[in-house]
Homo-oligomer: A and B are copies of this chain.
Amino acid sequence: MAVAVTSVAETCRQAKRAAGVLAQIDTAVKDRALEAIACALEQRLDEILQANELDMQLGREAEIGDALLDRLRLDGERVRAIARAVRQIAALADPVGEVIDGQRLPNGLDVRKVRVPLGVVAVVYEARPNVTIDAAALCLKSGNAIVLRGSSSAMHSNLALASIASEAAVEAGLPQGSVSLVAGGGRAELAELATQRDTVDLIIPRGGESLKEALQAVATVPVIYAASGNCHVYVDQGADLLQAEAIVLNAKTQRPGVCNAAETLLVHEAVAAQFLPRIASALGAAGVVMRADERSLALAADAEGVLLEPASAEDWDTEYLAPLIAVAVVGSVGEAIEHIARHGSGHSEAIVTRDTASARAFQLGVDAACVYVNASTRFTDGGEFGMGAEIGNSTQKLHARGPIGLRELCTFKYIVEGDGHVRA
């Protein structure tokens, strides 16, 4: 594989030229290119695994730890799963060209609001090499050129994957520069990439808080930050307590390490005496420790198998991503909404209730990307929402909120058609 050594700025300029072409390419050509990428990944598996083994060796020598090594590791099955994901993205509807809105104005002008690609999207990510291909496939399908910047620990894997994708895409008819990788995972490259205002339209970081902070300090290009998920489940006075138990358990334990997992349980005081011992035993059996406020501590103390600790002030603001849950008793749905306004991160919030007034108050009053009634917070996901795939989850309010799928990788333009119309 050949790697041209160019500056970050020149890579971005090439991406911008490619974007101008990509924006006008037919869906069928883009889909063929994605299929070509999927095939190339399968055919060039050995090359990918060799590159990955080099990263793994260097990782072991640098003692980066088992968790990171596992995230870094590729094998035949993992690469085939990446190829499958590319084919799934190819099968999604093309967002480009969708008419979002349209009308004939009183003066006869025809106005259409049409979805178009953003242009050049930069994706900055850590460890997992599969992001290289996932992100590239989403950007290409939505007509964007992509500039990737992975971490140095996955450099050889990322380079192999990006080169294979780029070559397959070009062979299938996409312009050179559609997929590129910024070699070098250092902060200097990050800063350079994050300030290419003339060529890069959006940066999406996928990584931890330190990556976000590094970007925040330097970026002049627009960034969509995926904030952390401090998600709550509120069990209302009017809750079906069997449902409540299932939802709390699912939201906390089905996959505790992800951003849509629940971190705090709020229980209405009218059902606390009945519900808390039950959920305490169930959570205890699942190995989850409750960090309880004074009232819930007392009510849960005698539950069979409970794992209980007193909560401190910072528990309400902590995204554990671990088998821990903060628990508080509240006096009303209004108090629950206030607690969430103070401590939530605007990601996913759930109420369990049979009472329409409580449900409505919660839906209206909670300011978050996704508000659930009688369902687990774990459903916040592009795949679950029928968007097919996502490149992240936004807790911002501008442009994209919630899952960032193909449509969110687009902007729009107004196309106005007349017959010699001038303004009076």
Contacts and interface: CB of A to CB of B under 8 A. Distances in A.
A397 B247 contact: no
A407 B119 CA distance: 24
Interface stretch (A78-86, A159-167, A311-319, A411-419): A411-419
Nearest to A222: B398
Given A373-B416, A423-B384, A398 B401 contact: no
Interface in A216-249: 216, 220, 222, 224, 240, 242-243, 246-247, 249
Contacts of A201: 397-398
Given A247-B420, A376-B422, A422-B378, A385 B365 contact: no
A24 B416 CA distance: 36
A418 B118 CA distance: 34
Nearest to A220: B216
A422 to B, nearest CB: 4
Given A367-B23, A413-B367, A413-B401, A376 B423 contact: yes
Interface in A102-116: 103, 105, 109, 111, 116
Contacts of A386: 103, 105, 111
A60 interface: no
Contacts of A378: 422-423
A274 interface: no
A363 interface: yes
Interface in A382-424: 384-386, 396-399, 401-402, 411-423
Contact of A419 (B251, B341, B374, B384): B374
B370 A414 contact: yes
A371 B247 contact: no
Interface in A97-139: 103, 105, 109, 111, 116, 118-119
Interface of A: 20, 23-24, 103, 105, 109, 111, 116, 118-119, 201-202, 216, 220, 222, 224, 240, 242-243, 246-247, 249-251, 254, 341, 359, 363-365, 367-376, 378-380, 384-386, 396-399, 401-402, 411-423
